[in-house]
A and B are shown apart, each in its own frame.
Chain A
Amino acid sequence: MIHCVNRTAEPIVNVNHLAFSFGEGDLCKQILFDINFNVFPGEIVLLTGPSGSGKTTILTLVGGLRHVKTGELTVLGTDFRTASVADLVRTRRQIGFIFQAHNLLDFLSARDNVAMAMQLHPEVTATESRERVSELLEMVGLKDRMDYYPAKLSGGQRQRVAIARALVGRPQLVLADEPTAALDSHSGREVVELLQRLATDHGSAILMVTHDNRVLNVADRIIEMEDGRIKQPVNSL
């Protein structure tokens, strides 16, 4: 598999001395200490580490779902320290999110769940967005299941619909939180390979939290976390 990472380009994600804590005063609990890393276009970066080490918190910060209090964080050119709520929402529209729980809308078919995400991209014409939806569902292997409701799909199939939803807007950055956790080893592997292929095709960067040792070999880089700190220096594979 040919996979290009352009380390000379501007990083898509730039994390500098980032710290984060929950609560105030005596109840204040620090979760992240002095986090530094970059994600470059087309790069697949895995975040691993025991639970409670702060991986998911990093993901919510990079995804603009929490406000940055200490340190620097720039995502897709937006400085999250100074960004308004509207800026955060605008940036989130350029990010593909894949959650542990697929969270598909049960009242929409697979096709409509994916198509709904296209409402965030009104600049794309109706025809093109219909084509993109079909194309992506075909790529994730759900050509024959496009009009099925989530209740009629297996866990792996639902996760693949969620991936199609995350990618239909052609995001430059994909954030994935244990996308394989709820899947058996076979479908887990499939999902990760799919992500890798789609990342390569569209040149998107992927930042993925995972515990799953079976998927580590797709990474360009692995960041290991422990107790809110990055455990070892960044390795290039």
Chain B
Amino acid sequence: MRSSWQVAWKQLSHSKVKLIVATAGVVVAVLLMLVQLGFLNAAYDSSLAVPKRITADLVVLSPQSPTFATPTQFARRMLYRLPAHPAVAEVQAIYLGTGRWKNPWDKSERQILVYGLGAGENMLQIPGYTDAVHQLQQPDVGLFDRRSRPTFGPVADSLAKGERVDVEVNRRKITIAACTEIGVTLGVDGNLFVTDTNFLRLFPRIPGSIDLGLVRLKPGVDPAAARDELVRWCGTDMRILTKAEFIAFEKHFLDTGAPINFIFGLGTAVGFFIGFVIVYQILYTEVSTHLPQFATLKAIGFTDNYLLRLVMQESLILAVLGYLPGTVLSWCVYQIAARETQLPMALTMFRLTSVLGLTITMCIFSAAMAMRKLRAADPADIF
């Protein structure tokens, strides 16, 4: 009994029910905050997964495209002008389209994002694409993303068993040659990769329009300088970005064009608020029911600061007590969510520390609110 921490702990733990309720409040808050932030990050990470796989030096897209995933088409010949510049080594045209995939097992139809990769050096890193390129060059053959949602059917399992997998995409029979691993996003449930020739069989369109262009520069050329020169060359018909600028462009779209920040940010705020209210309620009750006793402590010589510290320490004890089980529970939720949604859910050190910070802030706020009542404890009133 030499320190106020002991007093704080004894006050909190005197009623086990109260302690459990208060801790549960913090656990719920920690769980909500970690899971919501986890989804927010998963949404970003997954949406940026494909842009980060680009190995090209420059990326070309239509000035009307808000994001590469919902592109506006532009003329292929514009891209093919670029190799005329001495700095450019090679270009690759990429086609994108949303096709209807008919699950051959249960006959349901799903939307799938289909990538048509132009010939030449592949500047989009797709594991297994090069190995399967001879099969993929046959008519109506595709490479399936095994991390597509399970609703597309057990494609990878069937292939592993040596079975032939024929599916229907846009009313056309497609043979799956092999699987790759890319990952899905909140908006895209599955990915299919084909050659440009096969893509145009699936998606009849005005010949010569493409969705994305990738540019390899000659060794030693500065991408930013080359970009500036190419922009001067081409005018405003194409948006030319360095790889870093392209990732920033996609991130900016997620920040402003998609409501994920708002949705998951709101979820995090709700978690914070729930924890705040529960901890405040418990501390406030503790302070108000003990007001005469606290006034007595003041009378015998304890300072206001001592009592403020006591309440603050109680809130910090609750923060720690709730944080630990909260993170364990969140880890379980992350595992389940990753399996169910195929989204990349990782409990990073950074997120763990930020949520610990948020939890402590939340408890300190609650304590600060509950303390206002302490001023009502007037030692002159107890005689």
**In the docked arrangement, what's the CA distance between A58 and B379, Å?**
14
Which one of A94-102, A152-160, A193-201 is at the B interface?
A94-102
Contact B380 A106 (CB under 8 A): no
Contact A117 B10 (CB under 8 A): no
B293 within 8 A of A: yes
Contact A108 B301 (CB under 8 A): no
Name A101-115 residues within 8 Å CB distance of B: 101, 103-108, 111-112, 115
A101 CB contacts on chain B under 8 angstroms: 292, 382
Name B82-97 residues within 8 Å CB distance of A: none
User: Which of A59, A66, A103 lies in contact with B296, CB distance below 8 A?
Assistant: A103
B300 within 8 A of A: yes
Q: Mark B341-383, 1 if CB is under 8 A from A, else 0.
A: 0000000000000000000000000000000000000011011
Contact A116 B7 (CB under 8 A): yes
A119 within 8 A of B: yes
B317 within 8 A of A: no
Q: How far is the CB of B31 from chain A (nearest CB, A)?
A: 29
> In the complex, what residue of chain A is closest to B7 when comparing beta carbons?
A116
Contact A107 B300 (CB under 8 A): no
Name A136-174 residues within 8 Å CB distance of B: 165-166
Q: A56-B383, A65-B380 are in contact. Are A117 and B292 (CB under 8 A)?
A: no
User: Which of A97, A104, A107 lies in contact with B10, CB distance below 8 A?
Assistant: A107
B197 CB contacts on chain A under 8 angstroms: none
B11 within 8 A of A: yes
User: Which of B2, B15, B292, B380 lies in contact with A119, CB distance below 8 A?
Assistant: B2
Contact A93 B301 (CB under 8 A): yes
Contact B300 A105 (CB under 8 A): no
**In the docked arrangement, what's the CA distance between A115 and B297, Å?**
13
Contact B293 A65 (CB under 8 A): no
User: Which of A104, A107, A119, A129 lies in contact with B11, CB distance below 8 A?
Assistant: A107
Contact A60 B383 (CB under 8 A): yes
B290 within 8 A of A: yes
B4 CB contacts on chain A under 8 angstroms: 119
Interface size on A, residues (CB 8 A): 35
**In the docked arrangement, what's the CA distance between A118 and B379, Å?**
19
> In the complex, what residue of chain B is closest to A117 when comparing beta carbons?
B300
> In the complex, what residue of chain B is closest to A121 when comparing beta carbons?
B301
Give the size range of B's interface with the partner.
Answer: 20 to 34
B205 within 8 A of A: no
B290 CB contacts on chain A under 8 angstroms: 105-106
Main secondary structure of the interface of B (DSSP, over half): helix
**In the docked arrangement, what's the CA distance between A66 and B302, Å?**
16
**In the docked arrangement, what's the CA distance between A176 and B69, Å?**
81
A107 CB contacts on chain B under 8 angstroms: 10-11, 14-15
A92 within 8 A of B: yes
B293 CB contacts on chain A under 8 angstroms: 103-106
Contact B1 A93 (CB under 8 A): no
Contact A65 B11 (CB under 8 A): no
**In the docked arrangement, what's the CA distance between A85 and B245, Å?**
63
Contact B14 A65 (CB under 8 A): no
Q: A101-B292, A103-B293 are in contact. Are A120 and B302 (CB under 8 A)?
A: yes
B10 CB contacts on chain A under 8 angstroms: 107-108, 112
> In the complex, what residue of chain B is closest to A59 when comparing beta carbons?
B383
Contact B383 A106 (CB under 8 A): no
Contact A103 B382 (CB under 8 A): yes
> In the complex, what residue of chain B is closest to A61 when comparing beta carbons?
B380
**In the docked arrangement, what's the CA distance between A125 and B179, Å?**
73
Contact A99 B7 (CB under 8 A): no
Contact A116 B1 (CB under 8 A): yes
**In the docked arrangement, what's the CA distance between A97 and B293, Å?**
13
User: Which of A93, A99, A105, A165 lies in contact with B382, CB distance below 8 A?
Assistant: A99
**In the docked arrangement, what's the CA distance between A103 and B383, Å?**
11
**In the docked arrangement, what's the CA distance between A112 and B10, Å?**
10
Contact B2 A126 (CB under 8 A): yes
**In the docked arrangement, what's the CA distance between A111 and B299, Å?**
20
**In the docked arrangement, what's the CA distance between A155 and B15, Å?**
22
A89 within 8 A of B: yes
A43 within 8 A of B: no
Q: How far is the CB of A215 from chain B (nearest CB, A)?
A: 18
> In the complex, what residue of chain B is closest to A102 when comparing beta carbons?
B296
Contact B1 A120 (CB under 8 A): no
B2 CB contacts on chain A under 8 angstroms: 118-119, 126, 129
Q: Mark A64-88, 1 if CB is under 8 A from B, else 0.
A: 0110000000000000000000000
**In the docked arrangement, what's the CA distance between A126 and B297, Å?**
20
B108 within 8 A of A: no
A63 within 8 A of B: yes
A95 CB contacts on chain B under 8 angstroms: 300-301
User: Which of B11, B15, B300, B382 lies in contact with A120, CB distance below 8 A?
Assistant: B300
B382 CB contacts on chain A under 8 angstroms: 99, 101, 103
Beyond the given A89-B303, A99-B299, please list 10 additional residue pairs across the A-B interface where CB-CB is below 8 A.
A65-B380, A90-B301, A100-B383, A103-B296, A103-B382, A107-B14, A115-B1, A116-B297, A118-B2, A119-B1
What are some 12 contacts across the A-B interface (CB < 8 A)?
A65-B299, A89-B301, A92-B300, A93-B300, A99-B383, A103-B293, A105-B290, A105-B293, A115-B1, A117-B300, A119-B2, A119-B302
A-B pairs, 8 with minimum CB distance:
A107-B14, A93-B301, A115-B1, A103-B296, A65-B380, A92-B301, A107-B11, A177-B383
B residues touching A (Cβ–Cβ < 8 Å)?
A: 1-4, 7, 10-11, 14-15, 290, 292-293, 295-297, 299-303, 379-380, 382-383
